[in-house]
Structure 1
């Protein structure tokens, strides 16, 4: 009830406050945000909120247009520059902002647009990979699977395609393809990225998964963490991380980096919890997710795996 009253008051009071501040400062809300907020997450989130709350028909049409572009993954390359130019021009016109006087606003606001709709486009890219089933008849898919083995087990050759050796890196049976059903090709791509880009930390985590008491299935846990990374991305919780970490249009690489951080940190958290057996996985994962969500509430959130990783 209190929340509803607050929303109602905000709906009517907010325009009055905005009008008053515009008259006293000579700046619209978007300008005040771009000039007053810290760059990165704080500024981008504030711009995003301001745009979504706008009652301007032109602004709402712009949002719909940008949503359509990002959902269809057309926000890229030379097209990106044209889209940004058009979006900024629309806001300059609607808000009656002189770009020659407020040239810094043009740059800052354009960067916010790039990140906001780049994030939305990233969700579409990740979803496309998630819904692409691993196909053992696809040579590219099979190549990635063999590369995963080579990165994690460089000193040991596979006896064949179907073998119990896959269990050494945490798959459930003799053929890994059945374990990718939930997250599709995204699960494999994440594991391969972690094992390739962060080879030493991945080896470190793999060795922990073989612990005689606290061991777990490396690949299966990795695929579960792909699911967690996807949920955090889709519900918007990961915005702080992406907005603070991406210097240009967010790409699938930044999602893989986010996943790698989650895997590395989950391994540490798992060992700290000292589980009695693997049956505690669900409860420990839930606690870990809560911790991550709390960290992501910080608009300045920017995760790094650690110095050992950064130097790899």
Structure 2
């Protein structure tokens, strides 16, 4: 579009480094605080155990819980003398950590989100192709999508002629969130895609790929990804226990994910609305930092920190979360529709 006031968006022929990492290959050094907390070993302390209690909880007798509570009491009394012995004993009889209780609605929506995050993008799928065409029609109204491989995709902020190569580990949900932004907040979508505000760098972040990156970053903060490594083994054991007891999906362990649960009970599009507000924050942060393409990761790190702080403030609803999030950077709320 000739009238678009935009700078060059980074393309493969100019910059070979991909903005969106191959998340399947990432190691633990770059995970967020919520995931790091999830990967820490659980302490062998019974939840709700007071200094004088021996029985963990009333109800059906549980030998493991009973022995663990006896050991915990005995260790408080004589741990100074027999610390190593009791440390070994409590290792043999660990007490399961209890997460926050989920309502049926929270459990259902949390599982739906995790299923969405887990679905890979498959260019061979007709429904996935339809989603790409749907995004095209929203971005280039009145211009038919005649091919799924064309240089025109770069004008939307994909890094090459074939958008399928940009998904990597981001999955179909990254595309769904771009579509949600375009359909529910069309003015915001147009402003962000066209880069129509502010003094821009010569090399801008590519809009569509940055959106995929943002979906990944937020779902990581909220513990929506399937765990890997040692965390996967612990989650598998927890899932087996939950299945046996009839419980639903494992709740988030980090404070950020737990704070999000309340918003999830209030709205079935809580993640999508958080995504849209976070994208406005990303663009405003980009302008404030006067960033260029190679500084995108620094911008994203700051955005993730602001999301954590906004959720830590325990907003009562999505409107309050959006207000607190967009207040983090001057100008972030400008143009929100």
TM-score interval (norm. to shorter): 0.5 to 0.7
Q: Which has the higher contact order (CA 8 A, sep 6+)?
A: 2
Contact 2:109 2:264 in 1 (8 A): no
Aligned to 2:57: 55
- Work out the CA distance in 2 between the residues paired with 1:212 and 1:307: 20
Of Structure 1 and Structure 2, the greater helix share is in 1
Contact 2:205 2:293 in 1 (8 A): yes
Correspondence list, 1:76-155, <5 A: 116-155=103-142
- Work out the CA distance in 2 between the residues paired with 1:271 and 1:300: 26
Contact 1:133 1:184 in 2 (8 A): yes
- Work out the CA distance in 1 between the residues paired with 2:176 and 2:282: 18
- For these two proteins, the number of residue pairs brought into alignment is 212
Residue 211 of structure 2: which of 201, 222, 236 is its match?
222
CA 290–123 in structure 1, closer or farther in 2 if over 3 Å, else same: same
Correspondence list, 1:39-54, <5 A: none
CA 299–167 in structure 1, closer or farther in 2 if over 3 Å, else same: same
CA 205–15 in structure 1, closer or farther in 2 if over 3 Å, else same: farther
Aligned to 2:321: 303
CA 183–9 in structure 1, closer or farther in 2 if over 3 Å, else same: closer
Please report how far the alpha carbon of residue 300 of structure 1 lies from its aligned counterpart in structure 2 after TM superposition: 2.6
- Work out the CA distance in 2 between the residues paired with 1:173 and 1:214: 15
Matched, 1:178 2:216: no
CA 257–13 in structure 1, closer or farther in 2 if over 3 Å, else same: same
Matched, 1:12 2:50: yes
Residue 281 of structure 2: which of 256, 259, 265 is its match?
265
Moved more, 261-270 or 203-212: 203-212
Which blocks of at least 5 consecutive residues in structure 2 are unaligned? 1-41, 63-99, 224-251, 327-332
Which blocks of at least 5 consecutive residues in structure 1 are unaligned? 17-53, 61-111
Please report how far the alpha carbon of residue 285 of structure 1 lies from its aligned counterpart in structure 2 after TM superposition: 1.2
CA 151–238 in structure 1, closer or farther in 2 if over 3 Å, else same: farther
Aligned to 2:97: none
Deviations 1:270-311 (A, max 9, x none): 111111x211111221122112212211123632365854xx
Matched, 1:243 2:245: no
Matched, 1:163 2:201: no
Moved more, 125-134 or 7-16: 7-16
